[in-house]
Amino acid sequence: MRHTTSNPASSTGERRVVANVVRGCIGNLVEWYDWFVYAAFSVFFAASFFPKSSTTAQLLSTALVFAVGFLMRPIGGYILGRYADRYGRKNALTLSVLMMAAGSLIIAATPSFEAIGMLAPALLVTARLIQGLSVGGEFASSATYLSEVATPGRRGFYSSFQYVSIILGQLAALGVQIILLQLLTLDQMHSWGWRVPFVIGAIAAVTVMLFRRGMDESDQYKDEAARIAAEKASGTTPSAKRGTLRLLLQYPKQLAMVFGLAIGGTVAFYTYTTYLQKYMINTSGIAPETVAWINFAALFVYMLLQPVAGLVSDRIGRRKVMLFFGIGSTVLTVPILTLLGNTTNAFVAFGLMMTGLVIVTAYSALSAIVKAELFPTKVRALGVGLPHAITAALFSGTAEPLALALKQAGHESAFFYYVVGCSALTLVAALFMPKGKGGTTLDPATDSPTLDPATDSPARDGREDDRDGRELERV
């Protein structure tokens, strides 16, 4: 007869993992709420910051400012990624949320274009630059932190909550939008109502900043810091400084992999979660109130799918899940967006948006872990953050203004093929991922692994050790 005994130490460790994941995700939620509020309310505040013109031209102006924020993300990924590798994930996460609060407060308090002229869009750009720095650093630190504190063998599951919190932030932005649309008239929304969500975001960010000060640092970072401290105490020169660009460039194949995996995933993510709102209003002709509900319902289901996909990747490996995204997005993007642009039926629109989001789930749920598993602790945050942020700035941040510009030029469908091209590049990158369950540098035994010359990746991923541990618990 086989019995299993309870392991108090294991239970305590799991509770600690859950607590740290929750702490990391709450801050991530607020940061991405602040980031998405801009996109959700741009249709209402565009006229306040820019000269009167056509609606599409004003939206294009706000979209370009949105893209400017993306251009700061590589700098944020470098500065805060380096900071996280050298001074800790917790400190970097606290700093990033403070910067986001400052950006939201500036937007909320900026007078209109009619009141202060060109200073209004200048302040808007300044705020988005600050928020771009924040988001660039937040992704790096958050992805690294959640991947490091997760339980071996369940890293895909726990790290998937990064996008759960990102989507919750977007849902919170949409929720505030829906409530305000019920309470205020459209004239009030265009006049002053759009400022309310930015005030909410600034207050929430300051609150989270204080909350994050109580987070636990990851064991991987503490072990790396202790190792370097021991080397210094013994008079030995540390083998390499943490979080330096010079050190990062020693991992060219990993950098190329992050670029390849991120390009299609981030473009598809912003297409289906951000641009689609304007697409359904301006192209499909669906009422803004209805579009808000479609977005809210679809994103809620999308959020629930993240841990499912993460758990599946723990069982069958990251490569198969990423291939599902690459193939699905490459083949189905054009049909989905074409059909969506020719329907005014809310249920059909929801179904089409949901189809796209199911495909994107295969990327977003794994976005943190597939990148964090590529790098050792001493350069992980920078390795995850910088190449991802550069890719997001060049391709994701320009996706919406490109789509609007093509629409204004009468070639809107060309944007669909842009998404397809980016997704095809991610498909190619996924084909080069290790087969099976892949490798990781997240576990102590493989933090400084000998890399396979063919894949530049370690052979074990910690799941074997996790299963071995569970076997020892059986009596």
In the structure, what pLDDT confidence band is assigned to residue 39 with cuts at 50, 70 and 90? confident
Average pLDDT over residues 338-347: 93
Q: What is the pLDDT of residue 450?
A: 39
CA quadruple 74, 76, 79, 80: dihedral sign: negative
- Do 328 and 362 meet the contact criterion of CB atoms below 8 Å apart? yes
| pLDDT tops 60 at residue 474 | no
Tell me the pLDDT tens digit for each residue of 390-442.
Answer: 998 888 877 888 888 888 888 888 999 999 999 999 999 999 988 765 556 67
Highest mean pLDDT among 295-299, 303-307, 451-455: 303-307
Band (60; pLDDT cuts 50, 70, 90) = low
- Token pair of 301 as six digits: 């289901």
Torsion of CA 311, 314, 319, 320, to 10 degrees: -60
- E strand intervals along 99-162: none
276 close to 353: Cβ distance less than 8 angstroms = yes
Half-sphere exposure (Cβ direction) of 172: Cα atoms closer than 13 Å:
23
**Per-residue pLDDT at 220:** 85
**What are 101-153's pLDDT values in tens digits?**
899 999 999 998 788 888 888 888 889 889 888 888 888 888 899 988 888 88
Per-residue pLDDT at 98 exceeds 90: no
Work out the average pLDDT over 252-280: 92
Q: What mean pLDDT is reported for the chain?
A: 83
- Confidence at 57, pLDDT banded by 50, 70, 90: low
For residues 401 and 405, what is the distance between their CA atoms, to the nearest angstrom? 6
Give the span between the Cα atoms of 108 and 294, in whole angstroms.
27
pLDDT tens per residue, range 219-257: 888 888 888 888 777 777 666 678 888 889 999 999 999
Q: What is the spatial distance between Cα 208 and Cα 231, in angstroms, rounded to a whole number? A: 36
CA 265 to chain centre: 10
Buried b (16+ CB within 10 A) or exposed e, 375-410: bbbbbbbbbbbbbbbbbbbebbbbbbbbbbbbbeee
pLDDT score of 460 more than 50: no
Which pLDDT score, from 0 to 100, does residue 54 have?
Answer: 58
Mean pLDDT over 24-39 rounds to 85
Token reading at 106: 């500036």
Q: What is the DSSP string of 155-180?
A: HHHHHTHHHHHHHHHHHHHHHHHHHH
Instruction: Name residue 474's beta-bridge partners.
Output: 4
**In this predicted model, which residue has the larger pLDDT, 429 or 18?**
429
Over the stretch 148-174, which tens digit does the pLDDT of each residue have?
888 888 899 999 999 999 889 888 988
